[in-house]
Amino acid sequence: MALESTRPPTDMSPRNISWGVKAADGSEDGAFLVRESNTAVRDYVLSVLHEGEVVHYQIRRHGEDAFFSIDEHTIIHGLETLIEYYQEAAHGLVTKLTKICKKDPPPHDSRRHGRTNLLHRATKEGNYTVVSELLKCGYRSLEAKNQEGQTAVHLASRMGKDDILKKLIESGANINCRDTAGYTPLHYACQSNLPSTVRVLVQIGFANIQARNSDT
């Protein structure tokens, strides 16, 4: 049985989305695009072409981190991983996903993993000056993840870079994000036996002390 589809309203109507999918991909079955939801903050909408019609599915975010689902039972870490899951097979959709209508890559806070950037390198090196200058300039990749799905907060917490960690917290970084192994920054600070870093995360960042590894 196919999953229940939704129709996103307002500024990007189903008619406009349908035209975009068909025009961009020559009416290929399974052609799709993903956009931010107009009705639910931080959710997304999947629009997929099937037999000449475009069907819409709500992609729901679970909690603060990058966990998403289309149905009630399959929750997947990373928006890009969810797309790969439905490219392998339909799994309840009207058809499996084939050709994506590319525009921009998924936002940093929706991905499971990414690439090492300047903020990651400066954090690992303990270069407080570079980190401060990046954040002062409104660095847009605060939540960017490296190949292991770790943000700068993960790296600062693993290595006990407390001054940098405080700066990241002041700048609004997500303290409870998980990497590809399912660990939060607090998990790493505890594993590394860094009591001062644990205090920063809990007392300043209000980290969730009850968070468990998502893979266990």
Domain residue limits at 192: 118-204
CA dihedral of 23, 27, 28, 29, whole degrees rounded to 10: 130
Q: What are phi and psi of 100, to 5 degrees?
A: -90, 140
pLDDT of residue 77: 81
The CATH number that applies at residue 184 is 1.25.40.20
Q: Which of 90, 110, 130 is where one domain is finished?
A: 110
CATH code where residue 34 lies: 3.30.505.10
pLDDT of residue 11: 43
pTM here is 0.56
- Domains identified in the chain, total number: 2
Give the separation between CA 209 and CA 216, rounded to whole angstroms.
Answer: 16
Q: Is residue 61 part of a domain?
A: yes
Are 88 and 19 in a shared domain?
yes
- Which parts of the chain register pLDDT below 70? 1-27, 64, 102-105, 107-113, 214-216
The pLDDT of residue 36: 87
